[in-house]
Amino acid sequence: MLDLKLIRQEPDFVKEKLATRGVDPQDIDDLLALDAKRRDLIVKSETMKAQRNTVSDEISQLKRNKQDADDKIKEMRQVSADIKTVDADLDTLKAQVHDAAAHLPNIPNDNVPVGLTEDGSVELRKWGEKPNLDFTPKPHWQIGEDLGILDFERGAKVSGSRYVYYLGLGARLERAVYNFFLDQNTAAGFKEVLPPYIVNDDSMYGTGQFPKFKQDVYQLKNEEMTLIPTAEVPLVNYYRDNVIPEEDLPVWFTALTPAFRSEAGSAGRDTRGLIRLHQFNKVEMVKFCKPEDSWNELESLTKHAEDLLQKLGLAYHVITLTTSDMSFTAAMTHDLEVWFPEQDTYREISSCSNTTDFQARRAHIQYRDDNGKLQYVHALNGSGLAVGRTVAAILENYQNADGSVTVPEVLVPYMGGVTKITK
């Protein structure tokens, strides 16, 4: 959430920055108008409460002097009734201000390319050689089905479209990938966490999925509980309503979890294969740090995700997303996109974002600085990596003309020595 004090003090700056994310400047004016009414009511309520205290003292004095206090009692009752009305109106305005502010995205960093679409993202760097296949490459889903390691038909029968069964060495490959990621992450200094997969509404609000993106998730019927769309949610909320000891910062977490997404806004996109499933595995990385360290931490996070792809021998590039293409909570996002030969293009496999103090304000995550003053931490997150997409990239980049798939060297120990997947 944005700092309301900043919006009050620099409304033109906030309007200009959020306009690059598609926010109507009128939304800021409407929020400020509500906030002004709220603040006026606070003054009115406090004034009336002071008046009630004065009248109460006068009543006590009259009673001590055995004088008639009926008029003052009547006056106090009216003031109390007026206070009750004003406080009810104030509660309504507080909720309206909070809701309006909760729908505003984070302010983009000055170095984020401005764009109201995904077009205009900036390529930072490339790595690796694209495979030089001397045959027509097949898409990963066809490779998987031909090898008998992916079954989308039965996934659809049992659960619906965009679900899949991994079978045999397909399941082993998925397991090899996420165990490799976890081992690499923990070796780099991340603490492994096994978090809950179902979270409450406060947690979804804390990381910015609620209230704006409820249509993108799966909720339990008749309960304010949600299947996690990413491990970012339980990892960030681990410290919700907490003060992290300064000496503990930075904190690095990593976790393997399933992710559940309705994909409500992606109708017709990636309807085949492992790219856009309703349930998929992802290894997540989350960092908490002091504000002055967060941009270096973003680069460190991105470089670590790159290192995973380099060790797998997968060609990729890194891009900085435009102001409107990055996530709601992000101030800057670097996407890693891995090469897919059959599609002859790069596809996203990791997003590394600095949310600055945006999530920390929503989740009330703070630390105490050297002067003893409470400050909000900065929170960062990144995929390290999306497991199904990594499997898809391996199948396409390591496919052979005979239909087999060579196992990347770093995964062979995780595959029990298997070097090639064949029928």
For residue 335, the surrounding DSSP H or E stretch is strand 332-340
Is the peptide bond prior to 291 cis by the omega test (within 30 degrees of 0)?
no
Residue 404 marked ligand-binding: no
Cβ atoms of residues 392 and 404 within 8 Å: no
Residue 45 marked ligand-binding: no
Residue 246 marked ligand-binding: no
Q: What is the DSSP string of 63-122?
A: HHTT---HHHHHHHHHHHHHHHHHHHHHHHHHHHHHHHHHTSPPPPPTTSPP-SSSTT-E
Instruction: Name the amino acid, one letter, at 3.
Output: D
Residue 389 marked ligand-binding: no
Residue 232 marked ligand-binding: yes
Residue 381 marked ligand-binding: yes
Cβ atoms of residues 273 and 163 within 8 Å: no
Tokens in use for 345?
């293009």
Compute the distance between CA of residue 282 and CA of residue 390 in angstroms, rounded to an integer: 10
Compute the distance between CA of residue 80 and CA of residue 45 in angstroms, rounded to an integer: 10
Residue 299 marked ligand-binding: no
Residue 102 marked ligand-binding: no
Cβ atoms of residues 381 and 236 within 8 Å: yes
Residues 6 or more apart whose CB falls under 8 angstroms from that of 20 comprise 108, 114, 115, 116, 323, 324
Residue 75 marked ligand-binding: no
Residue 284 marked ligand-binding: yes
Compute the distance between CA of residue 160 and CA of residue 65 in angstroms, rounded to an integer: 81
User: Does residue 320 come out as left (phi exceeding 0), alpha (psi in the -120 to 50 range) or beta?
Assistant: beta
Residues 6 or more apart whose CB falls under 8 angstroms from that of 4 comprise 35, 97, 101
Nearest 10 degrees: Cα torsion 251, 256, 258, 263: 60
Residue 421 marked ligand-binding: no
Q: What is the DSSP string of 373-420?
A: -EEE-EEEEEEEEEHHHHHHHHHHHTB-TTS-EEPPGGGTGGGTT--E
Annotated binding site: 230-232, 261-263, 284, 348-351, 381, 383
Annotated binding site for L-serine: 230-232, 261, 284, 381, 383
Annotated binding site for ATP: 261-263, 348-351
